[in-house]
A and B are shown apart, each in its own frame.
Chain A
Amino acid sequence: MIHVTQLSIRYYSRRRPAVHDVNLQVRDGECVLLLGPSGCGKSTLALALNGLIPHSLEAELSGSVVLDGLDTQRTPLAQLTQRAGLVLQDPEAQLVTLQVEDEIAFGLENLCLPPATIHQRIGEALAAVHLSHLRHTPVWALSGGQKQRVALASLLAMRPRTLIFDEPTAHLDPRGAHMVFEQIAELRRLGQHTLILIEHRLDALMDLVDRVVVLDADGRPLLDGCPCKVFDHTNAPHLHRLGVWMPQVSLLAHRLGLRPVPFTLAGARQLLAEQRPKLARGASIARTANAAPHGPLVVRVQGLSCAYGSHVVLRDIHLDVQAGECLAIVGANGAGKTTLAKHIAGIATPPPGRVFVCGLDVAQTPAKQLMRHVGFVFQNPEHQFVTSSVADELRYSLRHAQHPPAHVEAQVQTLLARFKLERYANVNPFTLSHGEKRRLSVAAILATARDVLVLDEPTFGQDQQTGYAIMQMLRDLQREGCTIIFTTHDMTLVAEYADRVAVLQGGRLVFHDTPRELFRQGELLHRANLDMPPLRQLAEALGVGATTLEDWVQLLQPTEIAAA
């Protein structure tokens, strides 16, 4: 049992509380999904539930958290760690030793258990996450999904009743995420644990969730109840405005006015089968939308290979991108996505004659000239900030592009307005929110590069609304003639926004065509560690041809669309 009573938490460095007056009760064996916009205090609440706040991270705390009858503020952390374990999002940061066995032993050794007991518990924990064969493997040799499983095993070994997952798949590719979800599903089936999940890839999880708790932007509890209630039509506009992630199938139901709102794939499938009996198997939308534009070639990759030492990252890549196209680069972690993107943008220098952008050989064009045509936006926007104010970031870029000084100020204002950053002109970039940082980093790159924008996971760490806003912004740029190239793990983004998609597998380009075509090739998806977007899975299950939300709308409301 977890009893949270009037809990408010404020970090000493902040003026406003991160979590505000939360009351929450979680029964043993329940599975609760915690949602909210980015920065709403979900993670803070998670840290308070197992006592890390205030024991490890100091903060001003009022109210109480009672875990299995123990008040977390008055119980030593060592005792609390045996009641509740927390899996964090970054697999790198939460593994603290060099080897799998040592990692799982770590907590048990801290509890001063005798070696024989530790030995036995390691065996059990590894068996529970199906990694017994990796017991003596060094940590660096594990995949992201395996690392998260090891992190889970290291907690399971301490036999907590409650397990808290704070975005455990944020850093993982689709296969890695699948691995983690399967693991959580298995824990759910065994029914011995209370599960609290913070996650935004919801469609894979909703089958397991009993209850959804939503925090608003100020960290106040907004909704608490069964998913069918939380995601229903009355709440939808509210959640949407807040930027709370919702299952794709619920979004579809909101859009189409379907009732009751489904929240799992199975639910949506049943609902559509009942309410839309006319939806014929094999129905498919006209294939005009999403067709690739036929502009001149703006990026040419001809036989690009790349190796770091003996480790080959890219093998003989041939890829053409047309002007005004939006290309997604996808693949497993380590398949070479970012490396390819960096070579296109000249961040990594390709061998001569292999990569051309706007007719310029990337290898032989001076950086300053290349920068005017192609820009690269890094995954972490903070990495690219080089000045101490938002306006200066833009000025810096514009001066570099050798804009006449008279134009610079006007241009800064235009960019600030366009990216909705006017209010923050004199603010330090590091103090912006996630979404604002990302907008600024795109604006700063765009200030110099006009033709091709390359982005590494542009929506990473964003909530649904800011992620959507970023993609809309990219789509607007594309309409103005900019070519967009982005890497991602999010197949829904690929389906919704990309004209074409390049799939990398072990450094080879194994597919280059439209998203529609990609999601028809189940075997290829499996081989490349990818998956189908939820709405495509729904279409597969019903035997109809639809990939995106718009496809579904067209399929189910053809008349209204025509009228509009």
Chain B
Amino acid sequence: MMTALAPPGSRLQRVNPLVKLLAIVPPVTLAMLSNDPYLPSALALLAVLTLWIGGVSLRQLVRAVLPAAALILFFLVSYPLVIRRELVLDTPVIFSLGGLEVRWGALQAGAKAGLRIFALVTLTLVFSLTTDGAAFVRALVQQARLPYRVGFAFIAAFRFLPLIQQEVSVIRAAHRARGVDDGPGPLGLFRRVRRMAVPLLASAIRQAERAALAMDGRAFGAFPQRTWLHRAHFTYADPLFLAAFWLSVAAILWGLGQLGLLAPLVIVQRL
């Protein structure tokens, strides 16, 4: 989780986390509502370019983006199998395999769905791949007025999730060593959860208690406010980034519109 971050000091890391979050809201909304393959493709391309220019190495980029790209393929293959036939009856058959007819409309719908998700993932990466958890919490507390106790609950979660995960795997192994076999299926899962609940809860409570002591022992919560070594700032780079990113999104909309490739957004259609 933490190793996947872009190098500190890279361009996108320096942009305020809140600004990054704000920046991706309009394109994420557009991608969700899009009803053609072109808009999500263009937005995904914008996201990938932003990441690349922003200082994420190509290798890291490929590793983060590739699993999402696999989703496009998945939708492309699965849509012809599951789509309601009457929806695509008026489109030409591309090929048929036994009883299965693969129609142009089904492929198109699959591509649209896959690309939509791909765009959502890559746009979110602009934020998540370049934002340090602590910096985000700092910005939330200092600039978005989140109470600092709540902010530190997030940081504690960042720290403890991996520990709890590790504990779960140790307890599972320990139970297997006793010959526990809860069997497959939901019933097995239920039995396993019930068996693991006590030891897991016992150790989670102990961990939490120790962490609370460590925090209280360093005067956590002593005053209604606290100071911060690092101030979360807005710098000149923030509005520049926001403007450039949003202008690019607008340019994409305008360009696609000019080319006649933009289908009406989903809400517009419903109205």
Residues of A within 8 A of B (CB): 47, 50, 52, 55-57, 76-78, 81-82, 85-86, 88, 90, 92-99, 101-102, 105-115, 118-119, 122, 138-140, 151, 154-155, 158, 342, 345, 347-348, 367-368, 371, 375-376, 378, 380, 382-386, 396-397, 400, 430, 444-445, 448
Q: Are A92 and B163 in contact (CB under 8 A)?
A: yes
Checking B132, B177, B214, B221 against A445 with a beta-carbon cut-off of 8 angstroms, the contacting residue is B177
- Residues in chain A near residue B175, CB distance under 8 A: 383-384, 386
Tell me the chain B residues, 53-104 only, with Cβ under 8 Å from chain A.
none
User: Measured between C-beta atoms, what is the minimum distance from B71 to chain A in Å?
Assistant: 23
Q: Complex Cα distance A94/B213, Å?
A: 8
Q: Are B210 and A112 in contact (CB under 8 A)?
A: no
Q: Are A115 and B227 in contact (CB under 8 A)?
A: yes
Q: Are B219 and A158 in contact (CB under 8 A)?
A: yes
Q: Are B207 and A93 in contact (CB under 8 A)?
A: yes
- Residues in chain B near residue A107, CB distance under 8 A: 218-220
Q: Are B229 and A115 in contact (CB under 8 A)?
A: yes
Q: Are A90 and B223 in contact (CB under 8 A)?
A: no
Q: Are A86 and B219 in contact (CB under 8 A)?
A: no
Checking A96, A347, A383 against B171 with a beta-carbon cut-off of 8 angstroms, the contacting residue is A383
- Residues in chain A near residue B11, CB distance under 8 A: none
- Residues in chain A near residue B133, CB distance under 8 A: 98
User: A139's closest neighbor in chain B, by CB?
Assistant: B159
User: Measured between C-beta atoms, what is the minimum distance from B109 to chain A in Å?
Assistant: 37
User: Measured between C-beta atoms, what is the minimum distance from B132 to chain A in Å?
Assistant: 8
User: Measured between C-beta atoms, what is the minimum distance from A436 to chain B in Å?
Assistant: 16
**B152 within 8 A of partner (CB):** yes
- Residues in chain A near residue B132, CB distance under 8 A: 98
Q: Complex Cα distance A77/B180, Å?
A: 47
Task: Decide yes or no: A114 and B227 within 8 Å by CB, A140-B2, A158-B219 being known contacts.
Answer: yes
Task: Decide yes or no: A430 and B177 within 8 Å by CB, A77-B222, A112-B226 being known contacts.
Answer: no
Q: Are A78 and B213 in contact (CB under 8 A)?
A: no
Q: Complex Cα distance A194/B242, Å?
A: 54
Q: Are A109 and B179 in contact (CB under 8 A)?
A: no
Q: Are A112 and B203 in contact (CB under 8 A)?
A: no
Q: Complex Cα distance A114/B241, Å?
A: 31
- Residues in chain A near residue B163, CB distance under 8 A: 92
User: B228's closest neighbor in chain A, by CB?
Assistant: A109
Q: Could you name 16 residue pairs across A and B whose Cβ atoms are closer than 8 Å? A: A56-B213, A57-B213, A76-B222, A78-B219, A81-B217, A88-B210, A96-B215, A97-B134, A98-B2, A108-B229, A110-B219, A110-B220, A345-B177, A383-B199, A384-B174, A386-B195
Chain B interface category by residue count: 35 or more
Tell me the chain B residues, 197-213 only, with Cβ under 8 Å from chain A.
198-199, 202-203, 207, 209-213
- Residues in chain B near residue A371, CB distance under 8 A: 179
**B158 within 8 A of partner (CB):** yes
Q: A96-B215, A383-B171, A386-B180 given. 18 additional CB < 8 A pairs?
A: A78-B222, A81-B222, A85-B218, A86-B213, A90-B210, A93-B211, A94-B213, A94-B214, A96-B214, A98-B2, A102-B134, A112-B227, A118-B229, A138-B2, A368-B179, A383-B175, A430-B198, A430-B202
User: B173's closest neighbor in chain A, by CB?
Assistant: A347
Interface secondary structure of A, over-half rule: helix
Q: Are B177 and A375 in contact (CB under 8 A)?
A: yes
User: Measured between C-beta atoms, what is the minimum distance from A119 to chain B in Å?
Assistant: 7
Q: Are A56 and B229 in contact (CB under 8 A)?
A: no
Checking B176, B210, B221 against A94 with a beta-carbon cut-off of 8 angstroms, the contacting residue is B210
- Residues in chain B near residue A85, CB distance under 8 A: 217-218
User: Measured between C-beta atoms, what is the minimum distance from B213 to chain A in Å?
Assistant: 6
Give the top 5 A-B pairs by smallest Cβ distance, nearest first: A107-B218, A78-B222, A94-B214, A93-B210, A383-B174
Q: Are B216 and A94 in contact (CB under 8 A)?
A: no
Checking B179, B199, B228 against A115 with a beta-carbon cut-off of 8 angstroms, the contacting residue is B228
Q: Are B219 and A97 in contact (CB under 8 A)?
A: no
User: Measured between C-beta atoms, what is the minimum distance from A398 to chain B in Å?
Assistant: 11
Q: Are B227 and A444 in contact (CB under 8 A)?
A: no
Task: Decide yes or no: A118 and B227 within 8 Å by CB, A81-B217, A88-B213, A383-B171 being known contacts.
Answer: yes
User: Measured between C-beta atoms, what is the minimum distance from B193 to chain A in Å?
Assistant: 13
- Residues in chain A near residue B170, CB distance under 8 A: 378, 380, 383
**B269 within 8 A of partner (CB):** no
Q: Complex Cα distance A109/B226, Å?
A: 6
Checking B177, B218, B221, B230 against A155 with a beta-carbon cut-off of 8 angstroms, the contacting residue is B218
**B178 within 8 A of partner (CB):** yes
- Residues in chain A near residue B217, CB distance under 8 A: 50, 52, 56, 81, 85-86, 155
Q: Are B202 and A115 in contact (CB under 8 A)?
A: no
Tell me the chain B residues, 2-32 only, with Cβ under 8 Å from chain A.
2
Q: Are A78 and B214 in contact (CB under 8 A)?
A: no
- Residues in chain B near residue A368, CB distance under 8 A: 179
Q: Complex Cα distance A106/B177, Å?
A: 41
User: B200's closest neighbor in chain A, by CB?
Assistant: A383
Q: Complex Cα distance A82/B159, Å?
A: 26
Q: Complex Cα distance A383/B222, Å?
A: 36
Q: Complex Cα distance A99/B137, Å?
A: 14
**B49 within 8 A of partner (CB):** no
Interface flags for B133-167 (1: CB within 8 Å of A; 0: not) read 11000000000000000001001101100110000
Q: Complex Cα distance A419/B155, Å?
A: 44
User: Measured between C-beta atoms, what is the minimum distance from B138 to chain A in Å?
Assistant: 9
User: B172's closest neighbor in chain A, by CB?
Assistant: A383
